[in-house]
Amino acid sequence: MPTKTLYKKVTIVGVGMMGGSLGMALKKAGLAKEVTGWGRNEEKLKKAQARGAVDNWSLEREAALDGAELLVFATPGEVTSALSQEWMAGAPPGCLITDLCSVKRDLPAALTSLTGPSRYYASSHPMCGSEKSGVEAARSDLFRGRLCFITPVTSTRKRSLREIQSFWQALEMRVVSLAPIRHDRIVAAVSHLPHLLAAALINQVGDRKLLEFTGTGLADLTRIAASDPLLWLEIIRQNRENVARQLDLLTASLTELRKMVAEEDGRRLRSWLQKARLRRRKLSGS
Amino acid sequence: MPTKTLYKKVTIVGVGMMGGSLGMALKKAGLAKEVTGWGRNEEKLKKAQARGAVDNWSLEREAALDGAELLVFATPGEVTSALSQEWMAGAPPGCLITDLCSVKRDLPAALTSLTGPSRYYASSHPMCGSEKSGVEAARSDLFRGRLCFITPVTSTRKRSLREIQSFWQALEMRVVSLAPIRHDRIVAAVSHLPHLLAAALINQVGDRKLLEFTGTGLADLTRIAASDPLLWLEIIRQNRENVARQLDLLTASLTELRKMVAEEDGRRLRSWLQKARLRRRKLSGS
């Protein structure tokens, strides 16, 4: 069992669905004495406080950082990049810093270079986003039983890694450590491609004016297509080479499938469907 | 409000997930005094009785049909075709007959030709299948709020149509009447293509040995890939022309998407994602 650290103060930058859920989960698990939220929109911060996602909040960086032992960027990649320099310079000595961004090509290296000798940083990607956004959709059990990637670079310090791993494990996440480049390849296949596919499918059905004829299967398949388009535009564009490669693979596989469908003999299609069933049954958390 | 008919006896041929759910729903809604199950496997029939999906059961056609006012084929297309001649000839005069098959190209015309003057037949397709099979997965609320297609042919009698429509409406289904040819085109887009896509996606992830890295999004998208491969092989093959056409459309749309992903300017991709989001939010029952 990992050691459970009680943080005196955790500062969460951005209290949307992810940041808000993290605040709730920390309070519920007894991992933080005080959770402070920072954002640019007072209404949203008040809502987060009302939901119990943060104990208090501030619109000022210095006040939000004062006494923080853990600093979490729960903001999209571009916002995190833009904020990181000032926030990391202002973090108290000994503070552990992490982000929750979906693409790791540049961010972990850039933020690691900003730590200096007295701060600790390791990049995280808890795989539990949803199509919902905003603190209204936050849930204290969002992380439990889910997968969390941590993506060290060569200069990531051992203490940062150990501490961030214990942190997510204390929230009952399954932690897997991967190099950023491998992480981005994997999420292109298991997350970014599925996202585009859900959108492609609902658009194909919508283009033919068939939305009124859908059943439960299509609803499940296209749920994530309701996600925030701007957030996803950024993710897809940051990881575009890997996403393009996954789209090529899928196009090739659909072409092959087209042949199987047209064949008189169904053996190949049957074994392909059987393989899919066995694999789907192996998936956890479903 | 449609008139609620109380059937003295309903005979369900095949008591798997769909047939079993229908039995449960009929009892719960007070639409049948007696529900009789027929099948080839005594163990499965006993299980259906133990779950309350049927009041009694028989392995004999004549006993199962004796006194039936409604006869439902809850069997796959090929089985339904094979059974239909003897069962429809043996159905009592005045009996309403329906099937629940997923592809309507040939079946409604073939079965209508078997009715004779004293029996009533109309073909149905309740859109509430799931990846689960067997009476263990049956649920009395399977039909509530879902879409049910009925697919008359030119020789379908008005009384058959009226009665089958009232029947599904009494189970709180939304009933849409379509010509078989149009039905098959629509389900290729909203059901059969999504099915193949879920299988393609899980196979693409599995081929790269990435199943252990999946999150909730992929679990949702691939749930129906766990369905019975033999059942789906039959469905896809029966509707192969329409399915092939849908695969072509999707391949073209992925090729277009590939270009958008590679573009420096994200405007097209953004509006495409925005369109998908708006459409997904319109879907009911999700």
Which residues of chain A neighbour B186 with C-beta distances below 8 Å?
210, 213
Residue B104 has pLDDT above 70, yes or no: yes
Residue A1: inside a domain? no
- pLDDT tens-digit map of B164-208: 999 999 999 999 999 999 999 999 999 999 999 999 999 999 999
The total of structural domains in chain B comes to 2
Nearest to B11 by CA among B42, B76, B56: B56
Phi, psi of B263 (to 5 degrees): -65, 145
Structural domain for B214, as ranges: 182-282
| 8 Å CB contact between B151 and B108 | yes
Does any domain span residue A117? yes
Mean pLDDT of B88-101: 97
- The distance of A143 to chain B (nearest Cα, Å) reads 11
Answer yes or no: do A67 and A155 share one domain: yes
Contact: B186, A213; criterion CB under 8 Å: yes
A78 interfacial to chain B (CB closer than 8 Å)? no
Distance separating the N- and C-terminal Cα atoms of chain A: 25
Same domain, yes or no, for A267 and A132? no
The mean pLDDT of A123-150, rounded to a whole number, is 95
Question: Among the three residues A159, A178, A197, which one is the final residue of a domain in this structure?
Answer: A178
* Residue A144's CATH number: 3.40.50.720
Q: Are residues B204 and B226 in the same domain?
A: yes
For B221, which residue in chain A has the nearest alpha carbon?
Answer: A221
Please return the burial class of B121, using the count of CB atoms within 10 Å of its CB with bins 0-12, 13-18 and 19+: buried
Residue-wise pLDDT for B136-163, tens only, equals: 999 999 999 999 999 999 999 999 999 9
Whether A279 sits inside 8 A of B203 (CB atoms) is yes
SS3 B9: strand
Q: Is A259 on the interface with B (CB under 8 A)?
A: no
Q: Do B201 and A194 touch (CB under 8 A)?
A: yes
Q: Looking at the structure, do residues B157 and B186 belong to the same domain, yes or no?
A: no
pLDDT at A248: 97
Which tens digits make up the pLDDT trace of A13-55?
A: 999 999 999 999 999 999 999 999 999 999 999 999 999 999 9
Q: Is there a single domain that holds both residue B170 and residue B209?
A: no
Chain B positions touching A283 (Cβ under 8 A) are: 202, 211, 214, 218-219, 222
Same domain, B44 and B167: yes
Same domain membership, residue A230 and residue A139: no
* CATH label of the domain that carries residue A211: 1.10.3660.10
Label residue B3 by pLDDT band (50, 70, 90): low
Report the complex ipTM: 0.93
Give the rounded percent of residues in chain B with a pLDDT score beyond 70. Answer: 98
Minimum distance, in Å, between the CA of residue B204 and any CA atom of chain A: 7
DSSP for A12-35, please give it.
EE--SHHHHHHHHHHHHTT-EEEE
Is pLDDT above 60 for B285?
no
Tell whether A150 is within 8 A of chain B (Cβ).
no
pLDDT tens, residue by residue, A223-236: 999 999 999 999 99
pLDDT at residue A161 in the model: 96
Does the distance separating the beta carbons of A204 and B190 come in below 8 Å? no
**Residue B73 pLDDT grade (very low, low, confident, very high; cuts 50, 70, 90):** very high
Predicted confidence (pLDDT) per residue in A243-274, tens digit: 999 999 999 999 999 999 999 889 999 999 99
Q: Are residues B244 and B170 in the same domain?
A: no
Q: Using the 3D structure, point to which of A124, A144, A178 is the last residue of a domain.
A: A178
CA distance B14 to B131: 17
pLDDT number for residue A1: 47
Q: Considering only residues 173 to 232 of chain A, which have any Cβ-Cβ distance to chain B shorter than 8 Å?
A: 176, 186-187, 189-191, 193-206, 208, 210-211, 213-230, 232
Q: Which of B117, B149, B178 is the last residue of a domain?
A: B178
Q: Is the pLDDT of residue A279 over 90?
A: yes
Residue A2 lies in a domain: no
Residue A144, token pair as written in the block: 């439990």
Assess if residue A137 is contained within a domain.
yes
Of A213, A214, A243, which has the smallest distance from its Cβ to B261's Cβ? A243
One domain, residues B253 and B273: yes
Instruction: Let me know whether A80 and A106 are in one domain.
Output: yes
**A147/B282 touch (CB, cutoff 8 Å), yes or no:** no
> Rounded distance, CA B40 to CA B210, Å?
41
Check B269 against A127: CB less than 8 A apart: no
Q: Which helix (H) or strand (E) holds A9?
A: strand A7-13
In a shared domain, residues B19 and B160? yes
Q: Does residue B2 lie in a domain region?
A: no
Whether residue B97 is predicted with pLDDT greater than 50 in this model: the reply is: yes
Q: Tell me if A92 is assigned to some domain.
A: yes
Reply yes or no on whether the pLDDT at B286 is more than 70. Answer: no
Q: Are residues B152 and B204 in the same domain?
A: no
Q: Is residue A277 part of a domain?
A: yes
Lowest-confidence region among A89-93, A157-161, B1-5, B53-57: B1-5
Interface mutation target, options B201, B236, B253, chain A, most CBs of A under 10 Å: B201
Of A221, A233, A258, the CB nearest to B266: A233
Q: Where are the alpha helices (DSSP H) in B15-106?
A: 17-29, 42-50, 61-65, 77-90
Centre a 10 Å sphere on the Cβ of residue A155 and count the other Cβ atoms it contains: 11
> Percent of chain A having pLDDT more than 70?
98
CB contact under 8 A, B272 and A199: yes
pLDDT at B2 over 60: no
